[in-house]
A and B are shown apart, each in its own frame.
Chain A
Amino acid sequence: GESVGLHLPTLSVQEGDNSIINCAYSNSASDYFIWYKQESGKGPQFIIDIRSNMDKRQGQRVTVLLNKTVKHLSLQIAATQPGDSAVYFCAELTGGGNKLTFGTGTQLKVEL
């Protein structure tokens, strides 16, 4: 079956370092991907998205990379801050579909 998954359940980084959170997807028909951030006690919040006709997209301190050849998505956070500590989810939307499929999430812990 189709699935969206994350390689690592927990990622610990030092404050100021760059973080890379990975996501694998198996549905080659997926054409839209989103990263969400969920802080403790809150609902997920949109971070950045990317369509399948792009390889890279940059936001403020965040970059999403899409490698369609190996069906891999990554979220890069530059100069990680304590406020970045959260669970990060990737989600995919298949062409013509009206709902997103979420991965299981990666817990990012920022160490001071």
Chain B
Amino acid sequence: DVKVTQSSRYLVKRTGEKVFLECVQDMDHENMFWYRQDPGLGLRLIYFSYDVKMKEKGDIPEGYSVSREKKERFSLILESASTNQTSMYLCASTTYGATNEKLFFGSGTQLSVL
């Protein structure tokens, strides 16, 4: 089975701190994604990556950056955390193909910014 591992289940940070959320997948997937999940808003795409050192902005990239130095690892960075970035963050991966668009998700990181 595909495994997508997020390094922290719960994280509490202070306003202005630099925050790193790490995600690792073990299935050699090309594509990796970062979503945030908020009640009533569903899942919104922050950034995604199709290959090492490649990144693309999603729907809500403001206040975030990403890093993909290795194929299996995709990091989400909050340069200066703010309270409105308190949310559940979900990492996902998939291999790209015409008939396979299924995303495999990690268990999520609940980030609280105080």
Instruction: Mark A residues whose CB is within 8 Å of B.
Output: 9, 32, 34, 41-46, 49, 89, 93, 98-100, 102-105
Contacts and interface: CB of A to CB of B under 8 A. Distances in A.
A105 B37 CA distance: 11
Interface residues of B, number: 24
Given A99-B48, A102-B42, A104-B41, A43 B108 contact: yes
Q: What DSSP secondary structure best describes chain B's contact surface?
A: strand
Given A99-B58, A104-B41, A32 B107 contact: no
Interface string B40-74: 11111100101000000010000000000000000
Interface of B: 4, 31, 33, 35, 40-45, 48, 50, 58, 90, 92, 96, 101-108
Interface of A is mostly: loop
Given A43-B108, A104-B40, A99 B45 contact: yes
B90 to A, nearest CB: 5
